[in-house]
A = this chain, B = another copy of it.
Amino acid sequence: MTDERDAVAPAADLSADATPEQLGARRQILNAAALLLRHRGYEATTTRAIASAVGIKGGSIYHHFPSKDAIVGEVVNEGVRVVYDAVVAALAALPADAGPRLRLETAIKAHLLSSLEHSDYTSASIRTFAFLPDAVRRECRAERRRYEDLWRGLVNELYCEGLIDSSISQDSVRLLLLGALNWAGEWYRTGRMDIDEISRDFAACVLHSK
């Protein structure tokens, strides 16, 4: 009956990048939950649907996790951590003399790649956060604030270099950027647009001097 909705994707890409099917039941469950959360939201992601996506029966989920919210919490938390790590790693890979402009563009691209192409976790985290139960949401406040602070610093660099008009509040710039990035999941479709170009444009948009 519900098989049509259960098969949300042709069983592909559940394992992110690793081995075919033996990466531990726990990881498989988290992967499946992330995929479902991303595409259907919190309430529609049922424990039975998660179980069936990894080839076990509903009740067996509880051998690996104590509750649905424990799974969701772990997915959402990991989603923030993944994008944080992606951005930090991308910035670290830059030459030491890279200017704020390149750093901004790099951070934008890392965020988009992480949330659009690489990670159901990040996408699930972004899309479902607003409607999560309070308990789950509280659980990852700290992680989210850490990511926010990363961008606070990034934006501050731009101001220090005089790349943004100082009459504009730094908060506004950060909210504009993060808003646009987090919303990208609503319009982006693989193959139809180039993330490199979008990143370049987004960065150029907020930088007033060349």
Q: How far is the CB of A189 from chain B (nearest CB, A)?
A: 12
Is A205 a contact of B205 with CB atoms below 8 Å?
Answer: yes
- Docked Cα-Cα span, A173 to B205, in Å, equals 7
Q: How many copies does the complex hold?
A: 2
Q: Which of A167-210 contact B (CB under 8 A)?
A: 167-169, 171-173, 175-187, 193, 197-198, 201-202, 204-206, 208, 210
Q: Main SS of the interface on chain A?
A: helix
Is A168 a contact of B43 with CB atoms below 8 Å?
Answer: no
Measured as residues with beta carbon below 8 angstroms from the partner, the interface class of chain A is 35 or more
Query: Does A65 reach chain B (CB closer than 8 Å)?
Result: no
A168 surroundings in chain B (CB, below 8 A): 201, 204-205
Contact of A182 among B127, B131, B181, B186 (CB under 8 A): B186
Interface of A toward B, CB cutoff 8 Å: 40-44, 127, 129-131, 164-165, 167-169, 171-173, 175-187, 193, 197-198, 201-202, 204-206, 208, 210
